[in-house]
Structure 1
């Protein structure tokens, strides 16, 4: 199968397609095929930081059910969705609408529903009432993505001469979150003023993204140009986050991306001249909140001196989400100067290697 999809006239990213089943098998069988697939994965994450992933174990039927539930939830009136609205005091779990939470009018054209680890009673999820099937399916997806995440982290650990479970203790508290995304129908002209998702990098370790067939996802190439990432039915899109890049002293690439109007070949306007709605499921992997993230010593050399200071993972993620809520969009490039000032209690907690407060 070609690594490219879509029209040859479109400036496409040409992302490699990685067979996840061979990455799993690589730990136990160093066959030529598995070794080659593993090498292909490592080249990609060191080069562009984005891949397609096939044979990931989530069936087409399961994905259809998840997307159907997402569409049903987002079809509800605002008066129902706001009963479980996300905010910082609720650990950013629940329904999120930039139209209601942003102090600006530049918010992305999207709404979301955010879910964390459902077994964490200290940071509880908010769920739609009287809909147990929704909760069951979303939790299944959360756990499945965590499993895939562990396997990929194990692969990256082995490149540094570390055991494949090296990162497990840094992510075992499952401080990830899973986001249902809805980009409402809109006109092409409106995207000129407010993108569906403004340029940004992701915060944590790895992102697993499943798109519908609408298109519009772009990544920034090495030359600064935006490249289309066509959706491939049944495939996940995986990308490196900032904290994993920091762990590897920048050798793993956390690449800027956005969601814009798809090429006309991929998305027809309706009778009112609008682009159809777009839906996506995005799972964002994060280290444990109290994990201290600094570059691995093996990644610091004379040719590659240390690029990053250490940060508390929980504070990094919470501050980035807080800035998103405050500004209405994520910053294109996160700078350490953007962290919020810490109160004395937070400083004391850091001295004891505990997570700073989220507020």
Structure 2
């Protein structure tokens, strides 16, 4: 089994002519590994390349700046993640990566900001990269539009109205993360990863990766397959909210990163994590629970789910989030 490539041409707008065809392809991928590539996704290649250039500048600021803007200094968990701060696989060593987190710039009087909900609030920006706020906001908006369209196609794939998930995206939790992985250490043991095996926490992840590769996906048979970069394509994977929403029909599969193909160069990747509105209720959608059976997952809000995931992989930072 391989990771499929889905062409979104003719399916990027509500009611577009290829929507049903693309939705069927998404359903097949979602019932297998939960991973697929998308091409003709509507995001200009120049915008993606500019974001990689910005990622390098953000991660090249002085160490003192990164420490001063460390993400746990922000109630909304925005800013720099220092090397080794996260352990995605509890059985492995701390992840060999560093990154910069940002999100939508919700106003200070937004009800979710006032309530102190995690991921809502201000970003922390380094003065050394003054163009970062505007450029990141533009990229976030492009990714958000694509995420909302993918959710509409997912609704079609579940034989639901195309706009079924739209009400859950009024004030979405979205995170843009720019990551740098150093070269994999010589002589590293089997517990050393750039990012340990994990599933993503939200609904949809849209990943731009550089040409080095290193992402590996666990397929349904248990084997690990490289998600080799394909020019002009994003890698899309489903997060843990999707099995909850589909009663386990659609999958969120483990994946990991080892920067072993770059000839000693750092690897950069830019994942965009789409999560719905903090108070969106995540429970099995119609048609996914067989008659006479109980749902496989307890209902929860999107915010409750996300806060728990942060608590599992970071020593601090989630405690200030209001449920």
Q: TM-score range by the shorter chain?
A: 0.7 to 0.9
**Structure 1-normalised TM-score?**
0.79
Distance 2:30 2:258 in 1: 24
Shift of 1:179: 0.6
Spell out the pairing of 1:1-359 with structure 2 (5 A cutoff): 14-24=2-12, 27-29=15-17, 35-87=20-72, 89-99=74-84, 106-121=93-108, 122=113, 123-129=121-127, 131-190=129-188, 192-262=190-260, 267=261, 269=263, 275-302=264-291, 305-326=294-315, 357=322
4+ residue runs over 6 A deviation: none
Deviates more, 1:156-165 or 1:57-66: 156-165
Task: From the superposition, tell whether residues 261 and 157 of structure 1 become closer, same or farther in structure 2 (CA, over 3 Å).
Answer: same
Cα offset, 1:88, TM superposition:
7.2
Name the one with the larger strand percent.
2
Give the secondary-structure state (helix, strand or coil) at the position aligned to 1:299: coil
Unaligned runs of 5+ in 2: 114-120
CA displacement, residues 84-109 of structure 1 (integer Å, 9 cap, x when unaligned): 1101752211111153577x992100
Deviation at 1:172, TM superposition (A): 1.6
Distance 2:246 2:74 in 1: 32
Shift of 1:251: 1.0
Match of 1:332 in 2: none
Q: What is the rounded CA distance, in whole Å, between the counterparts of 2:189 and 2:265 in structure 1?
A: 13
Shift of 1:182: 0.7
Of the structure 1 ranges 186-195 and 165-174, higher mean CA displacement relative to structure 2 is found in 186-195
- Provide the rounded CA distance (Å) in 1 between the counterparts of 2:208 and 2:181: 14
Q: In the alignment, what sits opposite 1:9?
A: none
Mean Cα deviation higher: 233-242 or 157-166: 157-166
Secondary structure of the structure 2 residue equivalent to 1:238: strand
Change (3 A) 1:96 1:157: same
In terms of fraction of residues, the more helix-rich structure is 1
> Which ranges of structure 1 fall in alignment gaps of 5 or more residues?
1-12, 270-274, 328-339, 347-355
Relative to 1, partners in 2 of residues 1:35 and 1:243: Cα closer, same or farther, differing over 3 Å? Answer: closer
Bigger Rg over Cα: 1
Residues 36, 169 of structure 1: CA spacing in aligned structure 2 closer, same or farther, 3 A cutoff?
closer
Contact preservation (8 Å) 1:191, 1:261:
no
SS in 1 for 2:50: helix
